[in-house]
A and B are shown apart, each in its own frame.
Chain A
Amino acid sequence: MRNKRTLYLRYLGLSSIIIFMIGPLIWMILTSLKEPARIFTQFFPSPIRWENYIEVLNKVTFLKQYWNSIYIAVLVTLFVLLFASMAGYAFARINFPGKNIIFILLLSVMMIPPEVTIIPLFLFMRDLNLVNTHIPLILLPVFGAPGAFGVFLMRQFFIAIPKELEEAAIMDGCSKFRIYWRIMLPLSIPALSTLTIFTFLTNWDEFLYPLIFINSRELMTLPIGLSLFTDETGTAWHHLMSATTLATIPLLIVFFFAQKKFIEGMTAGSIK
């Protein structure tokens, strides 16, 4: 009897907290389907107005910003995967002078806050005429905290792989690069996928760099574009909520299918 009661209490406690976590997103989706005139008078949309989405998707800047966000996050992730796994492999498996000092130095990158380096970087990019281009948005995360975290994660993973697997290849006279590319990389797919999720999500959310480096609308990424959406058309709630829904749903769908990997990727990043 007592157990039943604690179970009900548990459901009650959890539900009252969870309302604040999924409630806002449900409200966002419901609002995105309402007619503009009825946004404040109804809770459930009726009639459902799908046109909101079509209208948002017809905004050229929104689609461009969406595309910018996707391709920048993909490029950053690819570069991080490549460079971090290369460096991680060298730190784990190759003996060369200076290795330990350099490794500690690379790790210290994780504690340099981007807020400190952003001013010189802005002046630097301005002198190279790279302000208002995507180049800083791609380069800075790769060679910043996400990249450094990747090196650390990959090194830890490579260290745990048994040496015997490589030794046979060394006997056959394989070069280091071939060992890395043909043997180590395929073995490290679990670590690479964790790193992929972590890098992609943090980059999808990146706010400071695009805010500072980009000033034309077509070149903005989604977070900045959406935050300005609020300012300009403050009253078009239905459009704004369609836009934020479109920015959220793809990630949530992937999350539901690869939940375990997602949680691993996100927590791996916060433990660093």
Chain B
Amino acid sequence: MTKTKLIRRKKISNKLGDTIGGWLFISPMLLGFTIFMFGPLLYAFYISLHDWPLLGESFFTGFENYQNLVKDNSFKNSLIVTLLFSLGLVPLNITLAMFLAVLLKDKFWGIGFFRTAIFVPVVTSLIVWAIVWKYLLAPELGFINQFLGLFGIEGPSWLLNKSTALPAVIIVSVIKNVGLNMILFLTAMQQVPEELYEAAELDGASAFRKFRNVTFPLITPTIFLTMIITTIGAMKIFGQVYVMTRGGPGESTKVLVYYIWETAFKLFDMGYASALAFVLFFILLAFTILSWVVRKRWVFYEE
């Protein structure tokens, strides 16, 4: 056999080998995602078209579950609570993260300690964090109210009071995760070319003006993307509500995911819970698509 023939033969067998090899390499993930993700997603929609109790027979009801959403006050409430939670959490989180990133941008003595400390809650388990705060916020014996008591202030029963429960959960969630967004902002700020600051300094710009006219415009894409990611996370909040308030008092902290969980696994109304879950799915889908558009429009440093 001549050399060229050998090479050609090798090429053909390589191509076939690549196809088989490629599919073999991805097969565990592909198979797993099909069985545990794509299949259930379609099946969830099928379930949502039924009256589907945990045990016993299910009946096809068409879009009745979806029509019932409109009349369901608890559903409306859960949407509003989720919205309020996000509206409280996202701006607070982004502003605080930005503030911390600005403070921690330039080197100074002790910077390592501060950066580490801000990241400590991120590494702490969410449930542990929620439990500790639940006790800190306890009505009479909790540390916060005892501390306020030293100054003669009688603190409210934070988590048992309709007007303070949701804000308390929001603040506890912000402190937990603000470190993550701070790091994202810090990374983006460090990408800003130093010459721009030098030029601004030559023009006699103050620190505030440097931030407003140099830093801020250049990191806007990061801010926007971080906002969307944070919003998606806020829409899915569950663990801290489960631990701190169980959706109460009343329904004042009953967010959408909590309501879905309750409908499915406390009331065992699988059909209606699936319809609720699809509402969540479409809300999240809208935000995800928005984040893709943002990514496409602004080219990112990380890519």
Contact = CB atoms under 8 A, between A and B. Distances in A.
Nearest to A79: B28
B114 interface: yes
A90 B28 contact: no
A164 to B, nearest CB: 18
Nearest to B113: A18
B200 interface: no
Contact of B273 (A83, A119, A255): A119
Contact of A87 (B29, B100, B125): B29
B29 to A, nearest CB: 4
Interface in A189-220: 201, 204-205, 207-208, 211-212
Interface in B109-131: 110, 114, 116-129, 131
A27 B147 CA distance: 13
A115 B288 CA distance: 16
B47 interface: yes
30 contacts: A18-B117, A25-B132, A28-B128, A83-B32, A91-B26, A94-B21, A95-B22, A102-B26, A106-B29, A112-B281, A113-B281, A116-B41, A117-B36, A143-B33, A147-B33, A148-B29, A176-B18, A205-B127, A207-B242, A208-B239, A211-B242, A226-B127, A226-B128, A241-B132, A241-B135, A244-B128, A247-B128, A252-B120, A267-B183, A267-B184
Nearest to B130: A227
Contacts of B17: 176
B103 A10 contact: yes
A124 B124 CA distance: 33
Contact of A113 (B99, B114, B125, B236): B236
A227 B121 contact: no
B218 to A, nearest CB: 18
A212 B285 contact: no
Contacts, number: 246
Interface string B142-156: 010010000000000
Given A86-B25, A116-B280, A205 B125 contact: yes
Using C-beta atoms within 8 Å of the partner chain, give the interface range for chain B.
35 or more
Using C-beta atoms within 8 Å of the partner chain, give the interface range for chain A.
35 or more
Given A86-B28, A95-B22, A255-B119, 10 more contacts: A21-B120, A24-B132, A83-B29, A87-B29, A139-B36, A204-B125, A229-B131, A240-B131, A247-B125, A263-B119
Interface string A89-104: 1110011110100100
Given A94-B21, A117-B44, A14 B103 contact: yes
Interface string B84-126: 0000000000001001100110001010001011111111111
B180 A176 contact: no
Given A113-B280, A205-B127, A87 B25 contact: yes
Contact of B41 (A20, A82, A112): A112
**Would you list the 9 A-B pairs with minimal beta carbon distance, nearest first?**
A96-B22, A143-B32, A90-B25, A117-B40, A223-B127, A120-B40, A120-B43, A94-B22, A143-B36
A256 B128 contact: no
Interface in B15-62: 17-19, 21-23, 25-26, 28-30, 32-33, 35-41, 43-44, 47
Contacts of B47: 119-120, 123
